[in-house]
Amino acid sequence: MSRKKLGVTTVVRKDGTLLGLLSDGDLRRLLESKGAQALEMTAADAMNSRPVTIAPGEFGATALRTMEERKITSLVVTDSQQRVLGVLHLHDLWTTGLV
């Protein structure tokens, strides 16, 4: 999360299929609720197993609308087999002038 500066990371199978998403906010809330027990948990225990995704061919305006409606800052870009292609962050849309 820190290296890519997105505030999120994906959890994937070996074949690249999306299993879930873990955000810095998820980690913060987990630490607040579980305390030291959170350090014993795996990514699978802590992740959101139903992250919001978007297809690579969708318009930026569609991505922006989805982010606004869901009050999120990132979407996982997946292909038709749910393999992760990347993460689209709100900051990416800012550079296009959509925001």
Residue ranges covered by each domain of the chain: 8-94
Read off the pLDDT of residues 8-56 as tens digits, 9 standing for 90 and up: 999 999 999 999 999 988 999 999 999 999 999 999 999 999 999 999 9
Fold of 8-94: CBS-domain (3.10.580)
**From CA 91, how far away is CA 80, in angstroms rounded?**
25
Name the band, by pLDDT with cuts 50, 70 and 90, for residue 3: confident
| Cβ proximity of 12 and 76 under 8 Å | no
The bridge status of strand 74-78 relative to strand 53-54 is parallel
